[in-house]
Amino acid sequence: MKSLIATELQLPKQTAFYKGKVRDVYTVDDKYLVMVATDRISAFDVVLPKGIPFKGQMLNQIAAKFLDATSDICPSWKIASPDPMVTVGYRCNPFAVEMIVRGYLCGSAWRAYKGGARALCGVKLPEGMRENQQLPTPIITPTTKAEQGMHDEDISKEEILAKNIVSPDDYELLERYSLALFRRGTEIAAQRGLILVDTKYEFGKRDGEVYLIDEIHTPDSSRYFYADGYRERFEKGEPQRQLSKEFVREWLMENGFQGKEGQRVPEMTDEIVDSISKRYAELFEHITGDKFVGAPYADNIYERIEANVRNLLCRLL
């Protein structure tokens, strides 16, 4: 199976290009961003050597759907999705923090708690909690937004304000937007038999207004449990059935890789790649309620993407 791991678009009035872990981002006329969701996959802040077929399309279409479904909560950068793998939107000046919202104690938060931590990013946690337990109320545990090749770092609200990374007024708005978006995501997930466990939101500013940017509620940025059987599994101390990228991290850890210096990424066999693609499709269908139909990986996929983007830009420029 083929995958799209890189693009080299030539766009009118293109002023910049940035290659993220997963997305190729083109700046046009210093006003717009063309964000191509490639099939690259990262874990532990490392881009893995093989792409995952259809992953980019799935992430792009999930994010586009949720950006539309939350447009009444806050403005977003999205203008349109002219191609299954592309979203075009407004260029915003991003805040240098990511807002992580957690409704349950799991993943890295559980690993820290199990190791003795009783506060995450300055947020105190009660004693006696167990893995995958629902928190009394959702909490925000921000991280710094790292430069390319660097690891994101946990940071507290107090540190963010003390270092003047975000102004008090803006941070209050980021908190309010993040919790409201998490509530909406939780409601939509519940309708699909899922639990939104944790997720991240990114924000930026344009013309003095705060915008939601990047992707939301995708398996790259979020963790979901199946609601059916959650309580029984929790009571028995069994692992939860989940749809997220955590299963990729778990596979890597089982094979001796956590992104640390000197460690090597285990071999990604065709079977592993295919299983990851199927898990992404499973989440797509559960969270959207739509049957996933993959756009074919024709030899002219680059031309298709560029033509679709150019058609939209002709109307914007």
**pLDDT tens-digit map of 116-166:** 999 999 999 999 999 999 999 999 999 997 665 456 789 999 999 999 999
Cβ atoms within 10 Å, residue 243? 23
**What are the phi and psi torsion angles at 233 (to 5°)?**
-65, -40
If asked whether residues 301 and 201 sit together in one domain, one would say no
| Helix extents (H) in 55-129 | 55-69, 107-114
If asked whether residues 117 and 28 sit together in one domain, one would say no
If asked whether residues 21 and 62 sit together in one domain, one would say yes
144 touches 153 (CB < 8 A): yes
- Return the H-helix or E-strand segment holding 226: strand 222-226
5 assigned to some structural domain = no
85 touches 57 (CB < 8 A): yes
253 touches 194 (CB < 8 A): no
d(CA 254, CA 269) in angstroms, rounded, equals 15
152 assigned to some structural domain = yes
Q: What is the mean pLDDT of residues 199-222?
A: 94
If asked whether residues 274 and 226 sit together in one domain, one would say no
**Which DSSP letter does residue 148 get?**
T
Task: Look up residue 76 and give its two tokens.
Answer: 């977003």
0.95 exceeded by pTM: no
- The last residue of one of the domains, among 203, 228, 244, is 244
d(CA 76, CA 70) in angstroms, rounded, equals 9
39 has a pLDDT exceeding 70: yes
If asked whether residues 213 and 283 sit together in one domain, one would say no
If asked whether residues 176 and 212 sit together in one domain, one would say yes
Q: Round the average pLDDT of the chain to a whole number and report it.
A: 93
Of 94-98, 218-222, 267-271, give the lowest mean pLDDT range: 218-222
Residue corresponding to tokens 């990511």 = 98
pLDDT band at 81 (very low <50, low <70, confident <90, very high): very high
Q: How far is CA 315 from the centre of its chain?
A: 29
- The last residue of one of the domains, among 209, 226, 244, is 244
If asked whether residues 33 and 116 sit together in one domain, one would say no
Percent of the chain with pLDDT over 70: 98
Containing structural domain, residue 192: 94-244
1 assigned to some structural domain = no
d(CA 168, CA 229) in angstroms, rounded, equals 41
44 touches 97 (CB < 8 A): no
163 assigned to some structural domain = yes
If asked whether residues 19 and 148 sit together in one domain, one would say no
Cβ atoms within 10 Å, residue 190? 12
Compute the radius of gyration of the chain from its Cα atoms: 19
Sign of CA dihedral 50, 91, 86, 311: negative
* CATH code, 312: 3.30.200.20
- Write the DSSP assignment of 271-315 as a string of letters: HHHHHHHHHHHHHHHHHH-S---PPP--TTHHHHHHHHHHHHHHH
pLDDT at 148 (0 to 100):
52
- Return the H-helix or E-strand segment holding 175: helix 168-191
If asked whether residues 126 and 65 sit together in one domain, one would say no
If asked whether residues 301 and 276 sit together in one domain, one would say yes
For β-strands 32-37 and 23-28, DSSP reports them as antiparallel
255 assigned to some structural domain = no
Q: What is the mean pLDDT of residues 57-62?
A: 95
If asked whether residues 122 and 198 sit together in one domain, one would say yes
Beta bridge mates, 123: 120
How many domains in the chain?
Answer: 2
109 assigned to some structural domain = yes
d(CA 53, CA 59) in angstroms, rounded, equals 12
d(CA 178, CA 184) in angstroms, rounded, equals 10
If asked whether residues 146 and 47 sit together in one domain, one would say no
209 assigned to some structural domain = yes
300 assigned to some structural domain = yes
Task: Look up residue 306 and give its two tokens.
Answer: 């560029």
**Which DSSP letter does residue 154 get?**
B
* CATH code, 239: 3.30.470.20
